[in-house]
Structure 1
Amino acid sequence: MVSPLHTNGRAELRDDKVITPFGDLAPRPDIRPEVLLRLSGKLQTTLELSQLLEIFLEEIQQAVLVDGLTLTHDPSGISLATGRNSLHTANYRMQTQQDYMGDLTFHRSTRFREHELANIEGLLSTLVYPLRNALRYHEAMAAAFRDPLTGAGNRVALDKTLGREVELAKRHGQSLSVLMLDLDHFKQVNDEFGHSMGDKVLKEAVVAMTGCIRQTDMCFRYGGEEFLIMLSSADQAGALRIAERIRMGIGRLMFTSEKGSLQVTASIGCATLNMTDTMEELVQRADEALYVAKDSGRNRVISDLDMEFTEREEDGE
């Protein structure tokens, strides 16, 4: 079902005193059957949401002038746009009896007329099930790359994403940093407070981490109580500021149970990409910095450059 958000139902009383639903008097879609057939076929060719919207916009422009489309699906955190935004909009809620598929907004520089809205609504009927299938595919793919306990990215997502970002940063000469984070004395949490408390600590720690980073950054569960945070376009100084913010945010977390109260801390190693680095070398330097932070007393941030400076001092340089 496609629900137009800008219309309201009413009835008109004609001279013969018969009440006719307003919908029967509204303009009907004026779309050639071959346009609908072509559009329906095209929409079956992809399960990628962005491609689906691009195909839909391109094809419907044969029947009605539209400058751009925006799809928002709050439950999945999806906000996608294609084409360009304009002053005038028409908004539709995409929904079947079982599935909510988001709100779709059409943009253009002039007002939509009633017969054009009727055409849009006729065209939308071809989008309902391809959009539902694309959303289900998106949700399945997101689940495949997400740690089920914490919601952070998993190791598969880490390898896929970080490898790509390292190559992009080198190609465009951009900064990239990673943080390797470990929750201090986490084994004691499980031993003294139980694994359910340990799970709660992990989940709340991820909430604290993601609350301290930007939308372009990503948090991954590296293993156990270790996490890797990828900081796009962040040099060493910027990465250290974010790392310190994360360390303090986790340190403010408080947990209570029948066995008492609990506060956790985190040790963090930071490494910034060199143009000769592989992904593995970048992660290894962050991991080495993390172990220095733990050996130095925990609850602190150490960068790979701090380690180099210490080594130079020991060599007497």
Structure 2
Amino acid sequence: MVSPMNGRAELRDDKVITPFGDLAPRPDIRPEVLLRLSGKLQTTLELGQLLEIFLEEIQQAVLVDGLTFHHEPTNTTIAVGRNSLHTANYRLQTQQDYMGDMTFHRSTRFREHELANIEGLMTTLVYPLRNALRYHEALAAAFRDPLTGAGNRVALDKTLSREVELSKRHDQPLSVLMLDLDHFKQVNDEFGHSMGDKVLKEAVKAMTGCIRQTDMCFRYGGEEFLIMLSNADQSGALRIAERVRMGIGQLSFAGKKDKLQVTASIGCATLQPSDDTEELVSRADTALYVAKDSGRNRVISDLDIEYTRQGDVSEEPSPEPNQEANGH
């Protein structure tokens, strides 16, 4: 079923295109167009490619400048073609599945017979789109930690390698945060593993709520997470890290006897020209352990460690010449 969502394209309320109402304009589409479109939509399970094929084919029957597809459950948005002033919006739904919302764009208003043609063409998209969404979700699950929903190590390796390469190619900053939940073993020991799982899930929600849409959160292992900050220099990364630390610190959980609050220690590192992915992560990891050794619940940058070491070296007294000569 494909239903119009609003009236910006002169749609009547409650118009549903399957089956067509007796008073609604009927689609005027050549059978060979539908047959060719149906066949081409069966050639791919890749969501973006499927929508590109659909737009290219329907433009032979209806003037459309572009389309935008949004699937709320997977937070997926794909735009094909170009946006224009006038839109027609549809909700795609079968009896079992919600398959997203589709918006068509063009520079002039849609007429009723054109909307009927669009709706007729969309009937060929429903099941290929459902298959593509299931494939998309299966691929996403393969790169997602099943407990927290954060990216897993496989996703981290692929994504970070790509981002390091892009950062160097386009001379853009890239930073990573290595985060560890403080005293997490005590959470499991004193409150149980089910509480520990809940803490991990809520911590990831807090992290994702504090970072930008372009940033990504990965579960590195146990209670340790890596947050990748695209186009973020050291000062920007530290601001985001402090937001994340405070967001996690505001979490509160009700135990059987006592209330549980958690904190996080965070190490921050920014990509240097000579870095590869291992060196970048290693410096963030070192900064994390300095944060934990310094009292936990704080953010430490890799550059802070370098400055500390330089200070330690400069303050170390040199031996007196006579002491060195006499062997004292």
Settle same-fold status: TM greater than 0.5.
Answer: yes
Query: In the alignment, does 2:98 pair up with 1:93?
Result: no
SS of the residue 1:97 aligns to: coil
RMSD: 1.7
Contact 1:9–1:22 (CA<8 Å) still a contact in 2? no
Report what 2:58 is aligned to: 60
* 1:192-243 C-alpha deviation (Å, 9 max, x unpaired): 1111111111111111111111000011110000000001111011111111
Q: Which of 145, 152, 159 is equivalent to 1:154?
A: 152
SS of the residue 1:140 aligns to: helix
Gaps of 5+ in 2: 6-10, 316-328
Report what 1:233 is aligned to: 231
Report what 1:18 is aligned to: none
Deviation at 1:306, TM superposition (A): 0.9
Contact 1:293–1:301 (CA<8 Å) still a contact in 2? yes
**Whole-Å separation in 2 of the counterparts to 1:22 and 1:231:** 49
Report what 1:7 is aligned to: 12
**Whole-Å separation in 2 of the counterparts to 1:234 and 1:190:** 34
SS of the residue 2:102 aligns to: strand
The alignment's TM-score, normalised by the length of structure 2, stands at 0.89
The alignment's TM-score, normalised by the length of structure 1, stands at 0.92
Query: In the alignment, does 2:116 pair up with 1:111?
Result: no
SS of the residue 2:22 aligns to: helix
Query: Matches of residues 7-26 of structure 1 in structure 2 within 5 Å?
Result: 7-8=12-13, 23-26=21-24
Contact 2:20–2:26 (CA<8 Å) still a contact in 1? no
Deviation at 1:8, TM superposition (A): 4.0
**Whole-Å separation in 1 of the counterparts to 2:14 and 2:66:** 27
**Whole-Å separation in 2 of the counterparts to 1:108 and 1:246:** 41
Deviation at 1:25, TM superposition (A): 4.2
Q: 1:189 to 1:29 in 2, by over 3 A?
A: same
Contact 2:178–2:225 (CA<8 Å) still a contact in 1? yes
Q: Which moved more, 1:73-82 or 1:50-59?
A: 73-82
SS of the residue 2:314 aligns to: coil
Deviation at 1:246, TM superposition (A): 1.2
**Whole-Å separation in 2 of the counterparts to 1:239 and 1:224:** 23
Gaps of 5+ in 1: 11-20
* 1:261-309 C-alpha deviation (Å, 9 max, x unpaired): 1111111110000121111110011001111111111111111111111
Aligned AA (1:307): I
Query: In the alignment, does 2:283 pair up with 1:285?
Result: yes
**Whole-Å separation in 1 of the counterparts to 2:116 and 2:175:** 51
Report what 2:121 is aligned to: 123
- Identity, in percent, stands at 83
* 1:106-133 C-alpha deviation (Å, 9 max, x unpaired): 1111111222122112211111111101
**Whole-Å separation in 2 of the counterparts to 1:307 and 1:22:** 69
